[in-house]
């Protein structure tokens, strides 16, 4: 699976994340928002106190090899377990993945499949 498909599944089907994947995802997003702030800053401490930065070993294990691998592994699991509930909206013209499940215009080739 490529990262584009993994991000698509993670963005639009995140309701299928398990508890540890939710914790890991929130941790990734929080670190992104903190943008490398040191742990000594008050903002970092607030994120940690609210549980947005985790110390959960299982969740951290999921992201130990980086967020790309996390998203690909999680998307593969979701696709395997919930295949009938996942809609990969591929362009009828070029067969590439559309931006969203409801999109009706291809961002790759510009094809439109709406009236």
> Residue ranges of the domains in the chain?
3-85
CA distances from 61 to 3, 24, 33, 54 (A): 19, 9, 21, 11
Residue 115's pLDDT is 67
CA distances from 43 to 30, 54, 111 (A): 11, 14, 45
CB 78 within 8 A of CB 18: no
Residue 63's pLDDT is 96
Q: What is the pTM of this model?
A: 0.86
Q: For each successive 10 residues of the chain (115 residues), what is the average pLDDT? A: 95 96 96 93 94 95 96 97 95 95 94 85
């Amino acid at each position: 699976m490529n990262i584009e498909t993994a991000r698509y599944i993670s963005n639009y089907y995140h309701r299928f994340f398990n508890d540890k994947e939710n914790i890991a995802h929130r941790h990734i997003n929080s670190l992104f928002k903190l943008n490398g702030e040191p742990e000594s800053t008050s903002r970092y401490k607030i994120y940690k106190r609210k549980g947005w930065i985790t110390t959960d070993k299982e969740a951290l294990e999921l992201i130990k090899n980086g967020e790309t691998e996390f998203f690909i592994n999680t998307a593969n699991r979701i696709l395997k377990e919930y295949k009938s509930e996942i809609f990969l909206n591929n362009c009828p013209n070029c067969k590439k993945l559309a931006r969203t499940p409801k999109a009706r215009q291809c961002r790759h080739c510009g094809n439109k499949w709406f009236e």
